Chain A
Amino acid sequence: MSALDTISVRVEASSGNVRPLLHEIRHALQRVADGGIGTTIDLGSLPLAPGEEKRIEELLGSGELRAELDALGPTVLQETRYAGVWFVTHRNTEQEVVARFIEVTRVPELLLAQEVDMQRAVHELEKQLEVN
């Protein structure tokens, strides 16, 4: 235990924004479930008290799917325990968090193979076939 722990400062303040956020997620999820379009929420745009981001993360929990993307630094796309609600954390090559989003959608777009990348892949695969 460091000396810091002896300071009796309560860090779990409340901005009153957690419940409204959860309501927003619920409505967004209902929309997607009814065949509507998805929603992305930028956690950087919300005034949150210290510890609240973590609390949101804990409230949403972890679901079945977790995907990692390695492009300009790692990105983790974690489906929460609520199907269709994803926690997306982008990091840069120095492992620093650059942005965090909550995505309410069937599949985050970032997981889909992109057309340009597929075109390039086709090209590379052809080259590979020519070599062999």
Chain B
Amino acid sequence: MRKDQTLGAYLFSQGVSRRGFLKFCSATASLMALPPTMVGRVAAALENARRPSVIWLSFQECTGCTESLTRSHAPTVESLIFDAISLDYHHTLQAAAGHGAEAAREAAMEENAGEYLLVVDGSIPIGNPAYSTIAGISNLDMLKESAANAAAIIAVGTCAAYGGIPHANPNPTGAVSVSDIIKDKPIINVSGCPPIPVVITGVLAHFLTFGSIPELDELGRPKAFFGQSIHDRCYRRPFYERGQFAKSFDDEGARQGWCLYELGCKGPTTYNACATLKWNEGTSFPIGSGHGCIGCSEPDFWDKGSFYRPIAAGLWGSRDALLGAAAAGAAIGIGTALAARSKKKRANAAKETEST
């Protein structure tokens, strides 16, 4: 597909029928979590959509986000990624290497200045930029340089969105998120460790379809996917309401599929689409497989105590501190009482000597 060609014209020239196009649109609308009534608008927009250039930068990351993306079963994800968008730089997926690859990135940035979409996965070490470099360029410099002329930035994964695991205490590399550095560009946070693959493609599809960024929540995440908590959309919610909880991972309650709240599920404080979109072609999601949500799409999920500590249990420190407080309190109480007694005694004694 040529860059100046619209998607509609491209698909038509490829012999894709209108029916095929409509199917593509309804699957895309579903992917973007839009109601089916929006298919018409999606079709109209996609028909005139032009192929955006995408530059994908991978910083301090584990490649799990890219692994997730390539397992997306989204509507003909291949056509979306390789036809409908122009992935001009992605150092895991591209064939080019070395200077050639960097030259391609620079060329794409120049050619599409102000229009390209910048996708970032991984956090950026600013404690010492040498912790992560590409072609001798620090992540910090590469991000600033690539963001300067981007139309928008998609921070894929919790690392890019909020610092993620590299940012976890004690954060040895001084890792920060994209939004900690870039302040003057629209940033869409697609969090998750990794994000749900169809959410990544869904956000790309939204940009492709409407040429704009979707409505975001206060943490910069698309509301369409992160608008509701795992708990709110969980099929095990009725068990929570009835007070039926699995107490261990192999008790009768666990076998009956009861709520995992007591086993540390972070569903109530985690916003993501796992409970509806699910994983592996919609097969299941962690709670469906019997494990509580670990809250991976939330900032600092790694530092919120054990994955197996219930939310309600709080992080109130140790019993020792409480016992210490108890001992100190009792000591002060007894001490003041005894002091009062002896004072009274002395006063009485003084009174008696006075009267005699």
Contacts and interface: CB of A to CB of B under 8 A. Distances in A.
B260 to A, nearest CB: 12
Interface residues of B, number: 42
B17 A15 contact: no
Interface in A14-57: 14-17, 40-42, 44-50, 52
B162 to A, nearest CB: 25
A117 B290 contact: no
B78 to A, nearest CB: 8
Contact of B20 (A10, A44, A45, A72): A72
A110 interface: yes
A42 B79 CA distance: 22
A47 B33 CA distance: 13
Interface stretch (A58-66, A78-86, A89-97): A89-97
Contact of A109 (B22, B77, B79): B22
Contacts of A47: 233-235, 237, 275-276
A98 B18 contact: no
B284 interface: yes
Contacts of B19: 69, 71, 110, 114, 117
B contacts with A: majority SS: helix
Contact of B238 (A8, A15, A44, A48): A15
A42 B30 contact: yes
A118 to B, nearest CB: 9
A48 B26 contact: no
A109 B255 CA distance: 43
B30 A50 contact: no
A129 interface: no
**Considering residues A46, A92, A98, which has the most beta carbons from chain B within 10 angstroms of its beta carbon?**
A98
A13 B73 contact: no
B36 interface: yes
Interface string B73-87: 111110100000000
Interface in B239-287: 255-257, 275-277, 281-282, 284
B104 interface: no
Contacts of A8: 255
Given A9-B255, A97-B73, A97-B282, A15 B235 contact: yes
B16 A110 contact: no
Given A52-B235, A73-B76, A92-B75, A40 B36 contact: yes
A25 to B, nearest CB: 14
A98 B75 contact: yes
Contacts of A16: 238
B204 interface: no
B257 A13 contact: yes
B16 A99 contact: no
Interface of B: 12, 16-20, 22-24, 26-27, 29-31, 33, 35-37, 39, 73-77, 79, 233-238, 255-257, 275-277, 281-282, 284, 288, 290
Closest 6 CB pairs of A and B: A71-B20, A15-B235, A114-B18, A40-B36, A49-B235, A13-B257
Interface of A: 8-11, 13-17, 40-42, 44-50, 52, 69, 71-73, 75, 90, 92-93, 96-99, 101, 109-110, 114-117
25 contacts: A8-B255, A10-B257, A13-B236, A15-B237, A15-B238, A40-B37, A42-B30, A47-B235, A47-B275, A49-B236, A69-B23, A71-B23, A72-B20, A72-B23, A90-B27, A93-B76, A98-B30, A98-B73, A99-B30, A101-B26, A109-B22, A110-B19, A114-B17, A114-B22, A116-B18
Given A14-B235, A44-B30, A47-B233, 6 more contacts: A11-B257, A13-B235, A42-B29, A42-B35, A47-B237, A71-B23
